[in-house]
Amino acid sequence: MSIRNTLSKYFSNHAETREDHWDSSLQTRYYKTTKDKALKKIEELIAKSDSFKVNSISEEHGEIGIIATKGKKVFIVLTVIMVRPFQTAVDFSVTTESIIPMDFGYSTKLINQLYTLVDKELPLITETKAKRSFT
């Protein structure tokens, strides 16, 4: 992890996951399910939570907009993409609203909390299995 990456992690108000992220906790996770089942299960999970509220859903694009109801003002875009049959990717994009343009890693912590919630509800495909299927 370079100094630049570390600084950008803590001195930014935005964090997102992606396939080849330098921070392994912010890499895309894959689940053994379909896009529709994942969207429905995650929507139910957010609806049960008292910390988050579903703002909008686009089943066509596989996106759910979420806002935080407790703590800092946060807007989350959750994207679900079916890569192969029963291999679905879930990514997060989190932006924290604040007076200063940094959240000291809050967005990253929130992504990790959300992935923990999703991991409990959907069967996770390990990294090695997911990468093997792409080659």
Quick: pLDDT tens for 80-135: 999 999 999 999 999 998 888 888 889 999 999 999 999 999 999 976 445 545 54
Instruction: Tell me the DSSP string of 35-97.
Output: HHHHHHHHHHHHHH-SSEEEEEEETTTTEEEEEESSSSEEEEEEEEEEEETTEEEEEEEEEEE
CATH fold of the domain at 13-121: TATA-Binding Protein (3.30.310)
Boundaries of every domain in the chain: 13-121
Which helix H or strand E contains 114, and what residues bound it? Answer: helix 106-121
pTM: 0.85
